[in-house]
């Protein structure tokens, strides 16, 4: 099994510790580079490109005669910082704070009519990508109220969850070499001879991310990294040539990992569509052969109707005033009779089914959204939406509650019932399940479910689940969505009236077994590559 995220982190960890590429004794040491950076910053102050305040907190970190790390500040004071040093680095490297080698949040001075790049947060890739896109704007439109940056600056998201998701990038190919964008960025502009890509990879390490998260402040959902964290963050700085070697090595390694990730994604998509195809074949009667010795679905349907009538007599369910019967006429066409009229429904049926099967509506063979009557003190299962798996897993977890706590304001279900999410995007994501191993055989949960309970033991509920997870049922359901965007739902009416291809009982069993065998094999492939 390959954990590519962990592999990327390991590579970055080796890189910043000086263990990814060998040191070259002929390289100019980083201490010389750092002295050149200090001189350059002083020159920039003289030229008015920086303000004196921009360098007043610059410091020098050195190793004392006692082999401990010390920091000397501009006022001449010295402080031992050994407890801040996270790991050892090669002798040719130095420790330095970001503010000593970068200008933090610089400003651009451009002509108002200059066309520049505009980059909102969605245009910056997350993860380990170093990519962004941009729109083109005039400088006059964006110079105020936005963050400024220029070619080769580094942008680091400061707000959650963008920061944790590693939304950070080196700005490249900007229009006229400059731009502005989201205010939720820290901008680092390296001084001479510091490779921007090297700083970017540091910003994507777990050490950097975890350290920044610890400084989060403000309200939940709007938390941000403290600016002082960026300013004072300790960087292990290699010689210039080694910076370049590290970048090249990371790029090569990540290119290989990207290929693995893409292959995994391609395979995952292939397996997803394979499962979709299997379910499509299953509900069309094309997954397993028909057996002429099987009791036909017409006999099964009569038995279901008899059991339904018995439940009506016992007062356990009410008679459907809109009950209808689907039958095949002498002309081999399908008709629906509601007791008053007979309608040709050939055009409504989505596909052909074997002769031993029957078309029914779901409400003909299932109780839709049943209610439980239980003792208040009975322990039952409670299942909110997050505990129901999506995709083709069909799994769920449970919590235990007293019935009196969940009987009102929640959806009821029992052992062997099938639940299907009715709200977007849960419905499209195939959040549906067979309720199994419920505490005392009963439960309640999210109101965003429709529940189907079969009449008697005449239908394999795993076959029903296969139908509910099929592209046919999902795509047809999406066409019936009602409600506001983001809160759209399939109605009870859609579930009740959906056309259900009913096979003989024994064929249902064979279909469920075959789906299980194939899906287990496909899952093994995915697990091996996960």
Per residue in 363-394, pLDDT tens? 999 999 999 999 999 999 999 999 999 999 89
> Does 526 score more than 80 pLDDT?
no
Tell me the sheet residues that pair with 235: 96
> Does 250 score more than 80 pLDDT?
yes
Mean pLDDT across the stretch 204-209? 97
Share of the chain above pLDDT 70, in %: 98
Question: What band does 220 get if pLDDT is binned at 50, 70 and 90?
Answer: low
Greater confidence (218 vs 237) lies with 237
Q: For tokens 């322990």, what's the residue?
A: 379
Q: Which of 476, 520, 473 is nearest to 500 (CA)?
A: 473
Share of the chain above pLDDT 90, in %: 79
User: How far apart, in whole angstroms, are the C-alpha atoms of residue 103 and residue 321?
Assistant: 76
pLDDT of residue 529: 62
What does residue 276 show for φ and ψ, rounded to 5 degrees? Answer: -60, -45
Topology annotation, domain 284-530: Adenine-n6-DNA-methyltransferase TaqI; Chain A, domain 2 (3.90.220)
Angle between the N-to-C axes of helices 505-529 and 240-283, in degrees from 0 to 180, rounded to the nearest 10 = 170
Q: For tokens 């009791």, what's the residue?
A: 295
Q: Which of 527, 6, 2 is nearest to 268 (CA)?
A: 527
Per residue in 35-51, pLDDT tens? 999 999 999 999 998 88
Q: Where are the domains of the chain?
A: 4-254, 284-530
Greater confidence (239 vs 455) lies with 239
pLDDT of residue 450: 97
> Does 454 score more than 70 pLDDT?
yes
500's enclosing H/E stretch is strand 499-502
pTM of the entire structure?
0.61
User: How far apart, in whole angstroms, are the C-alpha atoms of residue 277 and residue 271?
Assistant: 10
pLDDT of residue 64: 94
Handedness of CA 66, 72, 76, 77 (dihedral sign): negative
Stretch among 157-171, 464-478, 486-500 having the lowest mean pLDDT? 486-500
User: How far apart, in whole angstroms, are the C-alpha atoms of residue 404 and residue 450?
Assistant: 21
> Does 1 score more than 60 pLDDT?
no
Per residue in 314-345, pLDDT tens? 888 888 777 788 888 888 888 998 878 899 99
> Does 2 score more than 70 pLDDT?
no
Q: Strands (DSSP E) along 5-114, which ranges?
A: 59-63, 69-73, 78-80, 94-97, 102-104
pLDDT of residue 530: 59
Identical fold between 4-254 and 284-530 = yes
Mean pLDDT across the stretch 512-517? 94
What does residue 447 show for φ and ψ, rounded to 5 degrees? Answer: -75, -10
Mean pLDDT across the stretch 344-362? 93
Three-state DSSP state, 171: coil
pLDDT of residue 327: 87
> Does 208 score more than 90 pLDDT?
yes
Mean pLDDT across the stretch 83-103? 96
Mean pLDDT across the stretch 278-283? 96
The pLDDT mean for the chain works out to 93
CATH class entry, domain 4-254: alpha beta
Mean pLDDT across the stretch 273-282? 95
């Amino acid at each position: 099994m390959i954990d590519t995220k962990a592999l990327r982190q390991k590579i970055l960890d080796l890189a910043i510790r000086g263990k990814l590429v060998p040191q070259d004794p002929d390289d100019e040491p980083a201490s010389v580079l750092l002295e050149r950076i200090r001189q350059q910053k002083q020159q920039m102050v003289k030229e008015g490109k920086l303000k004196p305040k921009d360098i007043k907190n610059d410091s020098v970190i050195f190793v004392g005669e006692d082999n401990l790390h010390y920091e000397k500040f501009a006022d001449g004071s010295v402080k031992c910082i050994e407890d801040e040093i996270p790991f050892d680095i090669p002798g040719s490297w130095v420790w330095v704070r970001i503010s000593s080698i970068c200008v933090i949040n610089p400003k651009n001075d451009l002509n108002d009519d200059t066309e520049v790049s505009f980059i909102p947060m969605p245009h910056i890739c997350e993860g380990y990508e170093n990519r962004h896109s941009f729109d083109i704007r005039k400088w006059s439109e964006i110079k105020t109220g936005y963050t400024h940056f220029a070619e080769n600056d580094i942008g680091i998201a400061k707000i959650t969850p963008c920061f944790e998701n590693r939304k950070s990038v080196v700005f490249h190919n900007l229009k006229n070499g400059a731009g502005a964008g989201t205010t939720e960025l820290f901008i680092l502009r390296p001084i001479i001879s510091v490779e921007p890509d090297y700083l970017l990879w540091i910003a994507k390490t777990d050490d950097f991310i975890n350290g920044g998260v610890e400084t989060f402040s403000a309200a939940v959902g709007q938390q941000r990294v403290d600016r002082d964290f960026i300013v004072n963050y300790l960087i292990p700085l290699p010689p210039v040539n080694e910076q370049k070697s590290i970048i090249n090595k990371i790029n090569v390694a990540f290119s290989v990992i990207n290929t693995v990730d893409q292959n995994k994604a391609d395979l995952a998509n292939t397996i997803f569509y394979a499962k979709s195809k299997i379910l499509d074949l299953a509900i069309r009667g094309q997954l397993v052969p028909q057996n002429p010795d099987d009791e036909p679905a017409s006999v099964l349907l009569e038995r279901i109707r008899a059991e339904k009538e018995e439940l009506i007599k016992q007062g356990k369910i009410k008679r459907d005033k809109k009950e209808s019967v689907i039958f095949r006429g002498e002309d081999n066409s399908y008709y629906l009779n509601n007791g008053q009229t007979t309608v040709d429904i050939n055009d409504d049926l989505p596909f052909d089914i074997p002769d031993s099967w029957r078309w029914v509506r779901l409400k003909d063979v299932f109780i839709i959204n049943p209610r439980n009557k239980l003792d208040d003190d009975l322990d039952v299962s409670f299942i909110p939406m997050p505990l129901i798996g999506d995709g083709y897993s069909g799994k769920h977890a449970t919590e235990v509650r007293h019935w009196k706590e969940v009987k009102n304001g929640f959806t009821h279900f029992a052992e062997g019932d099938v639940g299907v999410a009715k709200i977007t995007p849960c419905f499209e994501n195939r959040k549906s399940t067979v309720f199994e191993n419920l505490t005392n055989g009963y439960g309640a949960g999210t109101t965003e479910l429709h529940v189907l309970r079969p009449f008697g033991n005449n239908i394999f509920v795993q076959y029903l689940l296969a139908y509910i997870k099929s592209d046919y049922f999902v795509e047809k359901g999406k066409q019936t969505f009602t409600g506001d965007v983001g809160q759209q739902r399939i109605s009870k009416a859609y579930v009740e009236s959906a056309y259900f291809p009913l096979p003989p009982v024994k064929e249902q069993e064979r279909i469920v077994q075959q789906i299980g065998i194939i899906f287990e094999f496909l899952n093994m492939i995915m697990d091996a590559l996960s």
